[in-house]
């Protein structure tokens, strides 16, 4: 896993060096293909599995709706992998016209001036920035340019096997104290072997950052010179909370490789009744479980808080098919058969007032209230890791999480080492 991040970080550095050598107006990517009056554009995304099938269906709906533009969608791997491939393709002038970007990577690409300012396209379509949900637009603008728009946006939420909680006479936890109590009460052991855990979550920075925010800490400090969760030992307390639960079996922390699928399978099999996971898995869980399944806000510590996540969509500045590219993006934003239908199918967040008020979304929430939880939780959304160097520091944070959660390294020295790396990166940026 570490090797993956090392390779990714190297690609980032190469990309930044190459981008820095390019003039502002020089093309960095793009394709040009018109056959029989039809423009063909390339769209890269990061959705595999069931959600990938839903994305393929969206692309087909667009292609079937008109004959001026044909979209070729390509799954490029997870967010990190897509980002790395995009960096390499831009450097080689072989990039796509439209791409999905995990929202925390947007600033890095925007700083390298390889993303198109979509402001005039948005205006021409009659859309306004105010039409989009505020809590999901934190990574859409850079230097007053509109460089991306929401696509498959999400927040982490608490997924609950309520059948098991009811059997034990337990309530859905709403605070950290309740979470600790309920998770421990759910543990089942045969001898020394744990056969049922209490809580699980994927190996990801998302969940510790949520817990740091819930403890009134921030990822970066106010001046962006260091980390912001050293004050009052917020970071130490977050990881001590997790380690204490891990030692009793109340927390199942999965292997790093494919951790998202592993925890989903554990939850679906009833081996862990509580799970921190993206709202994007609701559709899949709902279809593949036979117990009473509910979703809830992440339990609060000092306050309620949640990061946002998921992907945005961006147009490459080097594309030679920008009008065609926007036609596809506009379809996704405005047509009920675009992302609105995709959201109904997957459980990702609606992100325009038009979508939220649509009969389809309102009917969906009435029928499946689990899919409304994350939208309601947006009032507590915090984007405290917004920085062009976030991706680089993220790799260091992954290393710290690995050391603490897998290797049982002492928490405070590990976080101090991480702090030093962050300060070095920030000082060189």
List the pLDDT tens digit at each of the 429 positions of the chain. 333 444 444 444 444 444 443 444 445 445 556 666 899 999 999 999 888 999 999 999 999 999 999 999 999 998 889 999 999 999 999 999 999 999 889 988 999 999 999 999 999 999 999 999 887 888 899 999 999 999 999 999 999 999 999 999 999 999 999 999 999 999 999 998 999 999 999 999 999 999 999 999 999 999 999 999 988 899 999 999 999 999 999 999 999 999 999 999 999 999 999 999 998 888 888 888 999 999 999 999 999 999 999 999 999 999 999 999 999 999 999 999 999 999 998 888 999 999 999 999 999 999 999 999 999 999 999 887 788 898 889 999 999 999 999 999 999 999 999 999 999 999 998
Over the range 108-136, which residues count as b (16 or more CB within 10 Å of their CB) and which as e?
bbbbbbbbbbbeebbeeeebeeeebbebb
What is the tens place of the pLDDT at every residue in 7-34? 444 444 444 444 443 444 445 445 556 6
176 lies in the same domain as 260: yes
Residues 68-106 have pLDDT tens digits of 999 999 999 988 899 999 999 999 999 999 999 998 899
Query: Is there a contact between 404 and 243 (Cβ–Cβ < 8 Å)?
Result: yes
Residue 101 counted as domain residue: yes
Task: Give 251's contacts (C-beta < 8 A, 6+ positions apart).
Answer: 183, 197, 198, 199, 200, 242, 245
d(CA 212, CA 280): 22
Backbone conformation region of residue 215, classed left if phi is above 0, alpha if psi is from -120 to 50, else beta: alpha
Please check whether residue 141 lies inside any domain of the structure.
yes
Are the C-beta atoms of residues 110 and 143 closer than 8 Å to each other?
Answer: yes
Burial status of residue 379 (CB atoms within 10 A of its CB: 0-12, 13-18, 19 or more):
exposed
pLDDT of residue 14: 43
Say yes or no: 108 and 213 in one domain. Answer: no
Task: Please check whether residues 223 and 338 belong to one and the same domain.
Answer: no
Same domain, 294 and 416: yes
- Identify whether 6 is part of a domain: no
Same domain, yes or no, for 234 and 291? Answer: yes
Residue 13 domain-assigned (yes or no): no
Are 51 and 280 in contact by the 8 Å Cβ rule? The answer is yes
Kindly report the average pLDDT of the chain as a whole number.
90
Direct distance between the N- and C-terminal alpha carbons of the chain, in angstroms, rounded to an integer: 25
Q: What count of other Cβ atoms lies within 10 Å of the Cβ of residue 311?
A: 25
User: Domain span at residue 245?
Assistant: 156-307+388-428
Pairing type for strands 309-315 and 98-102 reads: antiparallel
Tell me: do 145 and 160 sit in the same domain. no
Task: Mention every residue, 6+ apart, whose C-beta is less than 8 A from residue 269.
Answer: none
Residue 35: per-residue pLDDT? 61
In this structure, the answer to whether residues 184 and 270 fall within a common structural domain is: yes
On whether both 262 and 328 belong to a single domain, the answer is: no
Shared domain for 360 and 423, answered yes or no, is no
Same domain, yes or no, for 45 and 98? yes
Domain count, the chain: 2
- Contact (CB, 8 A) for 5 and 392: no
- CB 259 within 8 Å of CB 253: no
Residues 183 and 206 in one domain: yes
What CATH code is carried by the domain that includes residue 358? 3.40.190.10
> How many C-beta atoms surround the C-beta of residue 205 within 10 A?
21
Question: What pLDDT score was predicted for residue 384?
Answer: 78
Confidence (pLDDT) at 31: 56
Q: Where are the beta strands (DSSP E) in 33-187?
A: 34-35, 38-45, 69-75, 98-102, 141-142, 145-146, 149-154, 156-161
0.85 surpassed by pTM? no
- For residue 17, is it within any domain? no
Nearest partner of 321 among 101, 24, 34, judged by Cα: 34
Residue 1 lies in a domain: no
Residues 214 and 230 in one domain: yes
> What is the model's pLDDT at position 391?
85
- Specify whether the CB–CB gap between 96 and 376 falls below 8 A: no
Residues paired with 224 in a beta bridge: none
Nearest Cα to Cα of residue 355 among 44, 127, 140, 67: 127
Q: How far apart are CA 19 and CA 208, in angstroms?
A: 32
Give, as one character, the DSSP assignment of residue 115: B
Give a yes or no: residue 226 inside a domain: yes
In a domain, 134, yes or no: yes
């Amino acid at each position: 896993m570490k090797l993956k991040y090392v390779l990714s970080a190297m690609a980032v550095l190469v990309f930044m060096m190459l981008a820095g050598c390019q003039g502002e107006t020089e093309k960095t990517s793009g394709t040009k293909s018109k056959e029989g009056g039809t423009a063909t554009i390339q769209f890269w995304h990061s959705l595999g599995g069931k959600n990938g099938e839903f994305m393929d269906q969206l692309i087909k709906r667009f292609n079937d709706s008109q004959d001026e533009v044909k979209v070729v969608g390509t799954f490029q791997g997870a967010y990190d992998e897509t980002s790395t491939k995009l960096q390499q393709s831009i450097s080689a002038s072989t990039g796509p016209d439209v791409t999905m970007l995990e929202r925390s990577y947007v600033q890095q690409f925007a700083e390298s001036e390889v993303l198109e300012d979509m402001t005039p396209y948005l205006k021409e379509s009659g859309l306004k920035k105010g039409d989009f949900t505020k809590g999901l637009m934190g990574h859409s603008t850079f230097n007053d340019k509109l460089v991306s728009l929401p696509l498959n946006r999400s927040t982490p939420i608490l997924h609950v096997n309520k059948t098991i909680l009811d059997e034990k006479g337990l309530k859905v936890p709403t605070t950290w104290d309740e979470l600790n109590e309920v998770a421990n009460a759910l543990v089942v052991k045969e001898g020394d072997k744990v056969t049922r855990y209490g809580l699980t979550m994927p190996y990801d920075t998302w969940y510790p950052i949520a817990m740091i925010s819930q403890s009134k800490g921030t990822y970066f400090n106010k001046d962006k010179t260091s980390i912001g969760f050293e004050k009052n030992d917020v970071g130490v307390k977050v990881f001590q909370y997790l380690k204490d639960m891990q030692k009793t079996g109340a927390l199942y922390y999965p292997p790093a490789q494919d951790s998202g699928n592993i925890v989903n399978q554990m939850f679906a099999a009833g081996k862990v009744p509580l799970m921190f996971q993206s709202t994007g898995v609701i559709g899949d869980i709902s279809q593949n479980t036979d117990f009473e399944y509910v979703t809830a806000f992440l339990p609060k510590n000092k306050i309620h808080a949640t990061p946002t996540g998921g992907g945005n969509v961006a147009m490459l500045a080097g594309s030679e098919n920008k009008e065609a590219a926007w036609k596809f993006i506009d379809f996704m934003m405005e047509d009920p058969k675009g992302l609105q239908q995709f959201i109904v199918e997957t459980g990702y967040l609606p992100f325009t007032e038009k979508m939220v008020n649509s009969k389809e979304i309102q009917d969906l929430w009435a029928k499946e209230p689990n899919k409304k939880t994350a939208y309601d939780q947006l009032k507590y959304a915090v984007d405290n890791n917004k920085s062009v160097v976030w991706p680089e520091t993220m790799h260091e944070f992954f290393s710290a999480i690995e050391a603490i959660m897998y290797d049982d390294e002492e928490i405070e020295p590990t976080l101090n080492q991480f702090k030093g790396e962050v300060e070095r990166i920030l000082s060189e940026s």
